Amino acid sequence: MVDEIKKPKRAQTKNLVNKTYLTSDELVEGRNWSIYKRSDFGFVETNSVDLILTDPPFNIARDTNFHTYEGNTINSYRFDKEKGWDSYSREEFVSLLGEWSREFHRVLRKGGSFAVFCADKYVSYLYHALEDAGLSPRRTVTWRKPNAVPVNRSVMMMSSCEFIITGVKDRNSVFNADIDGSSSILRQHIESLLVADKVASIVELSVRQELMSRERGKSVTPVEVSRHVNDVLQKLLPGISKRVEKMYRSKGDAQVLEGCVPNAVVFNSKSGQRLHPTEKPVSLLSYLIALLSEPNALVLDPFSGSASTGEAAVGLGRRVVLVEKDEEFFQKGVVRLKGLESQSVLDFE
Ligand SMILES: C[S@@+](CC[C@H](N)C(=O)[O-])C[C@H]1O[C@@H](n2cnc3c(N)ncnc32)[C@H](O)[C@@H]1O
């Protein structure tokens, strides 16, 4: 149970939309969440949203017949194409990026933030569309996925990154980079990442230096490589804890991690049985929500797929409005959030 959530009233997303716009079968609501089955979010009140966190279609189905096999499930981009939401011409897609960005600008409040997922080939198009709509993109986060599926291993680099353009409407946005230990959400989702990132960068650099400094031209066995790695880890251990302690500063009575938040993060992509072929991990979504919004904030995901953003937002005590046009994913999202609501972890009352 999170420790900083104010007791919300039932269905606090209700007053944010113009209900005359909707028919009843398009909407399912729970405590602090609503899912709309629609292909637009024109019903969301202007200037009402604190954070847009969304993963719109990437439009990469035309480029690849890439399939990933997980267990007995086949997840494929061709499947997305068959669903009809990832196969636009470039001109059509760029025009959609403009429409979506203008709507993002309309619904965000001043000082509201956005974090929008994007494939590498469209980063600059989306960045410019957001700027043209009057928003201020700030950093593009590179999300590295260590468990990416190696396809065409001998021909080209595997695709192990996605990109997330973050930014604000106007200024004075929420950015929770200071962690003083009083918030379990910030400790769990931001401090853990910043500390692990520091440790990983120390280890990575030292292992690389050690392996590169081996006698040049001399062939080595895998056993020798692993011995080098082991040696370097042993050498590093005492120094690492000192480096971690140095990340904190005294501020009054508290020890504060004044986090320097990197624009590159490492999270495994969703593995095992997925509800959606491009399902995002709740851990990454929770990190972005914790960093870019306050408890009880209103989060919007207008391309919600399996409602992963809904799970992350409600789990962190935010209110969330989700929009999904596909009947199958809409229903999966409803089942997912109803299932979570029936567990005590989301029962704030
Ligand atoms: C990349 S997927 C999102 C997956 C999601 N992040 C998850 O973790 O499950 C994009 C979703 O947007 C939906 N979609 C596409 N066009 C839409 C539109 N105009 N309005 C609402 N949803 C749309 C698709 O059906 C698809 O489920």
Give the model confidence (pLDDT) of 138-169 as tens digits: 999 999 999 988 877 888 888 899 999 999 99
Dihedral angle, C-alpha 209, 215, 216, 220, nearest 10 °: -90
Q: Are residues 60 and 22 in the same domain?
A: yes
Of 106, 89, 87, 100, which Cα lies nearest the Cα of 45?
106
Residue 46 lies in a domain: yes
Residue with the smallest CA separation from ligand 1 atom 16 is: 85
At which of 233, 257, 281 does a domain end? 257
| Burial class of residue 308 in the structure, from the number of CB atoms within 10 Å of its CB (0-12 exposed, 13-18 middle, 19+ buried) | buried
Does 280 sit in the ligand 1 pocket, CB within 6 Å? yes
Helix (H) or strand (E) holding 223: helix 222-245
Which percentage of the chain shows pLDDT scores above 70?
83
Q: How far is CA 272 from each of CA 69, 73, 276, 329, rounded to the nearest angstrom?
A: 10, 9, 11, 17
pLDDT tens digits, 23-50: 556 999 999 999 999 999 999 999 999 9
Residue with the smallest CA separation from ligand 1 atom 13 is: 303
Residue 69 lies in a domain: yes
As a whole number of angstroms, the longest Cα–Cα distance in the chain is: 75
Contact at 8 Å (CB) between 348 and 8? yes
The yes-or-no verdict on residue 84 having pLDDT over 90 is no
Does 288 sit in the ligand 1 pocket, CB within 6 Å? no
Find the domain containing 216 and state its range: 184-257
The yes-or-no verdict on residue 219 having pLDDT over 80 is no
Hey, which of 36, 43, 143, 325 would you mutate to test ligand 1's pocket, going by the most ligand atoms within 8 Å of its Cβ? 325
Residue 9 lies in a domain: no
Which percentage of the chain shows pLDDT scores above 90?
69
Does 269 sit in the ligand 1 pocket, CB within 6 Å? no
Note the pTM of the prediction, 2 decimals.
0.88
At which of 257, 283, 316 does a domain end? 257
pLDDT at res. 210:
87
Does 81 sit in the ligand 1 pocket, CB within 6 Å? no
Q: Are residues 70 and 159 in the same domain?
A: yes
Of 45, 55, 5, which Cα lies nearest the Cα of 294?
5
Give the residue-averaged pLDDT of 187-192.
96
Hey, which of 324, 330, 336 would you mutate to test ligand 1's pocket, going by the most ligand atoms within 8 Å of its Cβ? 324
The yes-or-no verdict on residue 8 having pLDDT over 60 is no
Q: Are residues 123 and 267 in the same domain?
A: yes
The yes-or-no verdict on residue 17 having pLDDT over 80 is no
Q: Are residues 59 and 129 in the same domain?
A: yes
Residue type, 285: L
pLDDT at res. 226:
92
pLDDT at res. 7:
39
Does 36 sit in the ligand 1 pocket, CB within 6 Å? no
More confident residue, 277 or 291: 291
Confidence band for 85, pLDDT divided at 50, 70 and 90: low
Residue with the smallest CA separation from ligand 1 atom 12 is: 303
Most confident of 220-229, 246-255, 311-320: 311-320
Residue 161, token pair as written in the block: 């990154």
Residue type, 202: I
Q: How far is CA 287 from each of CA 132, 184, 205, 333, rounded to the nearest angstrom?
A: 28, 13, 25, 20
Least confidently predicted of 58-72, 248-262, 289-303: 58-72
Shortest-distance atom of ligand 1 to CA 280: 8
Does 274 sit in the ligand 1 pocket, CB within 6 Å? no
Tokens 């025009």 belong to: 95
Q: Are residues 171 and 50 in the same domain?
A: yes
Residue 246 lies in a domain: yes
How far is Cα of residue 133 from the mean position of the Cα atoms in its chain? 22
Give the residue-averaged pLDDT of 206-226.
83
Residue 223, token pair as written in the block: 């056993």
pLDDT at res. 18:
54
Does 31 sit in the ligand 1 pocket, CB within 6 Å? no
Contact at 8 Å (CB) between 62 and 92? no
Q: Are residues 229 and 105 in the same domain?
A: no
Please report the beta strands in the chain, taking only residues with DSSP state E, as ranges in sequence order.
27-30, 33-36, 49-54, 67-70, 73-76, 108-118, 136-144, 161-168, 178-179, 248-251, 254-258, 264-266, 298-301, 319-323
pLDDT tens digits, 236-265: 998 999 999 999 999 998 999 998 999 999
What CATH code is carried by the domain that includes residue 37?
3.40.50.150
The count of other CB atoms within 10 Å of the CB of residue 156 is 8
At which of 257, 290, 307 does a domain end? 257
Q: Are residues 244 and 281 in the same domain?
A: no
More confident residue, 174 or 73: 174
Q: Are residues 29 and 159 in the same domain?
A: yes
pLDDT at res. 259:
85
Contact at 8 Å (CB) between 182 and 150? no
CA distance 338 to 180: 34
Q: Are residues 146 and 38 in the same domain?
A: yes
Of 136, 73, 70, 60, which Cα lies nearest the Cα of 105?
136
More confident residue, 96 or 228: 96
Q: Are residues 239 and 210 in the same domain?
A: yes
Tokens 């001399």 belong to: 218
pLDDT at res. 19:
54
Residue with the smallest CA separation from ligand 1 atom 19 is: 39
Residue with the smallest CA separation from ligand 1 atom 7 is: 279
Tokens 């944010």 belong to: 16
Residue 3 lies in a domain: no
Q: What residues pair up with 143 in beta bridges, in sequence order?
A: 162, 265
pLDDT at res. 80:
52
**How many domains, in total, are found in the chain?**
2
Residue 190's φ and ψ, nearest 5 degrees, are: -110, -50
Q: Are residues 112 and 232 in the same domain?
A: no
Does 329 sit in the ligand 1 pocket, CB within 6 Å? yes
Hey, which of 117, 303, 336 would you mutate to test ligand 1's pocket, going by the most ligand atoms within 8 Å of its Cβ? 303
Ligand 1 centroid to Cα of residue 276, in Å, is 9
Q: Are residues 199 and 311 in the same domain?
A: no
